Amino acid sequence: MENLIAFPKAWEFHPMLVHFPIAFLLGGAVLMLWTMRRPSEMLHRTVAGLLLAGVLFGWLAAATGGLAYLTVPAHTEEGHGLMLWHLGLGLAMLALFTWVSIARWRGRETAATKQQLAVTLVGAVLLMLTGHVGGSVVFRHGAGVDPEILSREIREGHSHASGHSDSSESSSEHHKSKSDAHRHD
C-alpha cells in the first residue's frame, strides 16, 4: 500500500497525463467530422475547445514524455529505438494538431475547411500510431516497469536513469548474444 500513495517517480508523470490529449484530440476529430454533416455554431465552438484542450495537454504530455525518456529505468534495446519513434511521431502529430487548433480557434463559429479536416484526420492517425508505439515501449519492452519484476534481459539492459548504466557487456556483444539465443530456439 505504501507504493500506491508514494509520490510518482519522474517517468510516471507521462502515463498519468497522456490520456487527456488522446481523448480531447480524438473527440475533437470525431466531432469535426460530425459537424461536416450537421453544422452548428455551438458544435464548431466545441470542436475548437476540444482541440485546444487536447493540444495544451499534448504539449504537457510531451514535456513529461521527455522527462520520462531521460529518467526511465531499464528497458530493452528495441524499446529504446521505439522511444525515438514514439517521440518523432508524437511531435509530428502535435505540430499538425497545433496548427489545426489555432485555425479552428480563430474560426470557431464556422465549419472546418477541407484542409483543416484533412490535417485533423492525418493527425488522428498519427495520434493512434504514436499511442500504439508508446504502448509497445511499455508492454513489450518493459519501460517504466519496476525492474525488480522484469526479466534479467530487461533488468540488465538499457536504462536512462541517472546512476544506472547500460549492461556491462558492449552493445555489439549484447546484440550478438541475443541473436545466438534466437538461433538456439
Quick check: pTM over 0.85? no
Amino acid at 17: L
What is the chain's mean pLDDT, rounded? Answer: 84
Share of the chain above pLDDT 70, in %: 78
pLDDT at 154: 62
* Domain edges within the chain: 10-184
For residue 93, what is its C-alpha cell? 502529430
The answer to whether residues 165 and 93 touch, using CB atoms and an 8 Å cutoff, is no
Which of 67-76, 92-101, 114-123 has the weakest average pLDDT? 67-76
- The 10s digit of each residue's pLDDT in 22-60 is 999 999 999 999 999 999 999 999 999 999 999 999 999
The answer to whether residues 26 and 127 touch, using CB atoms and an 8 Å cutoff, is yes
For residue 183, what is its C-alpha cell? 538461433
* Three-state DSSP class for residue 75: strand
